[in-house]
Copies of this chain bind each other. A is one copy, B any other.
Amino acid sequence: MTTPSTTALWLVGARGSVATTAAVGALAVGAGLAARTGLVGDAPELAPAGLPDLDRFVLAGSDIGGVALPKRAALLAEDGVIPAHLPAVLADALAEVEARIRPGIAPGHGAAAEQVRRVRDDLVDLQQRTGVERVVVVNVASTEPPVADDPAHASWPALRRALEAGEDVLPPSALYALAAFEAGASFVDFTPSAGARLPAVAQRAEEAGLPWAGSDGKTGETLVKAALAPMFTTRQLRVRSWAGVNLLGGGDGATLADPSAGLSKTRSKSRGLQAALGYPVDAPVHIDNVPDLGEWKTAWDHISFEGFLGTRMTMQFTWQGCDSALAAPLVLDLARLTARAHERGFSGPLGALGFFFKDPAGSGEHRLPQQWDALVAFAADLGAGQLGAGR
C-alpha cells in the first residue's frame, strides 16, 4: 500500500467548539498525545478503506469572528471538554492553524457570486501554498434557518444565472458548498443547513465529479434512536409514540432556541424515526436552551410501545453527553472518508456515510446496524482499487 496522500481539512466555523475540539484532537492524536477513542475510522472493520491518518491532514478554515483558536482551546479546557494540559502543549500548532483561518461569509456582506469566488480562491490558495493533494471542506458553523424555496434552486444553470444577476438566493452553507466544488474540493455538511442538498448545488458537484456528504452529525439522541428503533421492529413491538427533549447550553443552545434555526434541527431529528420504524409515529421533539449546561447536552426520550395482546409498555432514556467531544471525532472521520472517496474517484452524495448523519443525503436508511453494514461495505469499495484499476 502506498502512503496515503496529504489533505487539507477546511473547517467552516473554524473557531467554534466542535472545530476547536477537532483541531486539538487531530493534533494531539497525530502527535501521539491522546488516545484514539471515538474515531470510527479506526474500527478494524473499516481498515480495508486505507484511510489517511490524522497526521496527514493540514488544518485550516474560515470563521466570521470568534476568539483565536489557542484561546478558544484554553476555554474548552476550562470547561472540561478537552484535557487541561493540551492547549499549552499544542500552543504552537494551534497558532499555525489559526494563521490559516480566513474570514468567513457573513450574510449581507457583498454579492453572493463574489463571496463564492473569494472562498474558492482561499481554498485554491491553501492547496497551492501547502502542496496538499486535495481539500475537504466541512461545515461546522451555526445551524441556519430552513431556506425559502426559490426557482433558482432547481438546476445549476438556473442558479448560476441568478448568482450572476446578483440575486441573494443561497444561504452561506450553500455558498461554501459551491465554493468547494468550484475549487475542486469535496464537501461535508455536519449541520442541518442546506449545504450541498439544494438540487442546483448537488448538480454542480456531479458536474465537477466531486463527492459530498451530509447532513447533521448524529451525536446523541438521534444516534440512540437509530440503535433502538431496529430493536423494536425486529422484535415486532409496535412503537406508539416517541417523545424527546434536548437541553443544550453553549452557543448551540442559543442558536437552536431561535425557533427558525431550531426548526431545521427538529425537522432533521424527526425525519429518520418513521423511516427507521417503517410506519408513522407521534414523535414530538423539543430543544431548550439551558445556558448553565455549557458544552453539555442532556436528552430525555420517552417511548411508548405495544407488545403481545396489546399490552402497553414504556422505555425512557437519558443521554448526558459533551456535544463537541461527540462531534469532533466524527468530523475527522468524515474528512478522512470523504477525502479518500475523492481520491478514489467517487462523486455525488455519499449515501454510505449515513451512519454519521441524522438526515443522510443519498440514502433513505436510518437504522444504525444497516448504516454500519453500508459503511463497512463502502470501506471495502474504497480499498478495492488499491489492488487494481480505478473506477
Contact = CB atoms under 8 A, between A and B. Distances in A.
B243 A288 contact: yes
A372 interface: yes
A304 to B, nearest CB: 5
- Per DSSP, chain A at the interface is mixed
Interface in A35-75: 35-40, 42-43
Contact of A329 (B236, B243, B304): B236
Task: Quickly give the copy total for this chain.
Answer: 4
A367 B371 CA distance: 15
- Pick from A309, A314, A369 the residue with the most CB of B within 10 Å: A309
Interface residues of A, number: 73
Contacts of A315: 224, 317-320
A51 to B, nearest CB: 13
Given A234-B43, A247-B302, A302-B298, A35 B310 contact: yes
A230 B231 contact: no
A318 to B, nearest CB: 5
Contact of A369 (B286, B322, B369): B369
Contacts of A289: 284
A275 interface: no
A230 B367 CA distance: 12
Interface string A316-347: 11111110011011000000000000000000
Contacts of A308: 21, 25, 37-39, 325-326, 328-329
11 contacts: A24-B309, A35-B310, A37-B309, A38-B307, A39-B236, A81-B309, A234-B368, A282-B291, A282-B292, A307-B322, A313-B326
The 3 closest A-B pairs by CB, nearest first: A369-B369, A38-B308, A311-B325
Given A227-B228, A240-B292, 12 more contacts: A37-B237, A37-B306, A37-B307, A39-B236, A82-B309, A234-B372, A241-B290, A241-B293, A300-B316, A307-B321, A307-B325, A315-B319
